[in-house]
Amino acid sequence: MSRRETERILEVIRDVRARGQRAALATVVRVRGSAYRREGAQLIVREDGTHECLLSGGCLEPAVAATAARVIATGEPALVPYDLQDDSVWGLGIGCSGAVDVYIEPLSDEPVMRVWLDLLERAEAAVLVTSLAGATGRQLIRADGSTLGQLTPAVTGIVEAALERLKTPPHYSGTETIGEVELYFALSAPPPHLLLFGAGHDAVPLARAAWDTGFAVTIADTREAFLTAERFPGMTTVPMEPGEFSNAVTPGPRTFVVVMNHHIERDRESLRLALESDAPYVGVLGPRSRFEKLLAALQEEGFTPGTAALARVRSPIGLAVGAETPEEIAVSILGEILALERGFEGGFLNGRVTSLHSPVPSRAMARS
C-alpha cells in the first residue's frame, strides 16, 4: 500500500476507537495469477458495514465487507479465498484471471498490534508476521532484530526471513512457508523520498502527484516566496542560500532527485550535490546538451563524477510519452521514477501474459 493509503487506514482506526466502535482489517495475503492489487493491500470495515480503501477495482469489497461483519461479530479471524474468474461461486462478475486470499481479522488492542500501529504511524522499518496455518499468534520484528510477541509453536528462521525482506527496496509484503508453517509478512518502511531542486510552476504538479502516490516530498529552492504551504501542502520545503546547497539537504539511498531549477548555476550546484550523495536516481530536466553543459562546468571547477555516479543520472528525464505541459511532464517523470523504484522497465503492458506485478530484472534499478 502507498503511504497515503496507510494514513487513511490509521485515521479510520483512530476514529472507530475514539467512538468505541468495532472494525475489521482485511488484507490481501496471496495473489495467484492476475489481480487488481498485490499482497499487502488493505480494507478496513466498520461495524456498520462502511469501509475505506480498496482491495480491487471496487467489485470485491462488498463480499469482503460481508465476511468482515461475521468476523466482527464472532471475534474470530478468517482466511478467505476469492477466485476472481469463478463467477458461478461468488457471483461477483469480476472476470479477472486470478485469485486472491484475504485475511480478515477483528481490530484488536493487543500489545503487538498497538506497537505495530505505532510503527506504521511513524513509518519505521519493521515486519509483522502472522501465522495463517500451522501455528498461532503473531510476532513483530524491528529492523534491529528485536522482537515482540511469539508464534506457537516457535518458528526457527522467522527473524532472518523478516530482516531479509527489509533489506532491499521496494519493500513488499507477502506470504512465505517456513517448515510446515504458512506465514504472512506485513512490512512497514519509510516511504520513498522525492527531492525537487526547484519550486517553479512545473514543480507543483510533480510534487503533488508524487505526494498522492505515497512519496515523502521535499522541495528546495533559493526563492522562499515559492516555498509556500499553499503550493506544496503537507510537504517539506527547504529554503537554500546560493553556494550552500550541501548544507541544506542530504539525499539518501531512497531519495529520488530531480534537478529543475531552470537556472544554470543552481542546477550545477544541485547536480553536484546529488552526484556526491547516495541517491539512486538523479533526473535532470531539459535536453541532453544542457546536462553535458552542466557536467563540463563541474569538471572546470575540479569535480569529475565517476562512471557509477553518472549511471544514476537520467537525462533527458522521464518516459517518452510526448509530454509537453507541466502536468504531462509530471506524469512522465513520476512514471519513470515508479518504474525504476519498483524494478520495472517502464514499457507498454500490451501483450504481457505474466503477472503485471512482477518486475523485469533486466531493467531493474540497482539496489543498495
Q: What is the pLDDT of residues 224-279, one digit of tens each?
A: 999 999 999 999 999 998 777 777 788 999 999 999 999 999 999 999 999 999 99
Beta bridge partners of 101: 30, 81
Query: Residue 130 in contact with residue 183, Cβ under 8 Å?
Result: yes
Residue 363 pLDDT? 41
Q: Burial code of 333-359, b = ≥16 C-beta within 10 A, e = fewer?
A: bbbbbbbbbbbbebeeeeeeeeeeeee
**Mean pLDDT (whole number) for 122-140:** 95
pLDDT band at 79; cut points 50, 70, 90: very high
Q: Convert the pLDDT of each residue in 300-348 to its tens digit.
A: 999 999 999 999 999 999 999 999 999 999 999 999 999 999 888 888 8
Q: Helix (H, G, I), strand (E, B), or coil: what is residue 71?
A: helix
Q: Helix (H, G, I), strand (E, B), or coil: what is residue 199?
A: coil
The overall longest dimension of the chain from CA atoms, in Å, is 72
Total-model pTM? 0.87
Q: Cα-flanking dihedrals φ and ψ of residue 152, to 5°?
A: -125, 120
pLDDT band at 132; cut points 50, 70, 90: very high
**Mean pLDDT (whole number) for 56-78:** 91
Q: Burial code of 149-163, b = ≥16 C-beta within 10 A, e = fewer?
A: bbbeeebeebbebbb
pLDDT band at 361; cut points 50, 70, 90: very low
Residue 355 pLDDT? 62
HEC-encoded secondary structure of 139-163: EEEECCCCEEECCECCCCCHHHHHH
Whether CATH 3.90.650.10 fits 193-342: no
Q: Which of 340, 342, 194 is nearest to 257 (CA)?
A: 194
* Distance, CA of 317 to CA of 287 (rounded, Å): 9
Task: Return the domain boundaries, the chain.
Answer: 3-106, 111-188, 193-342
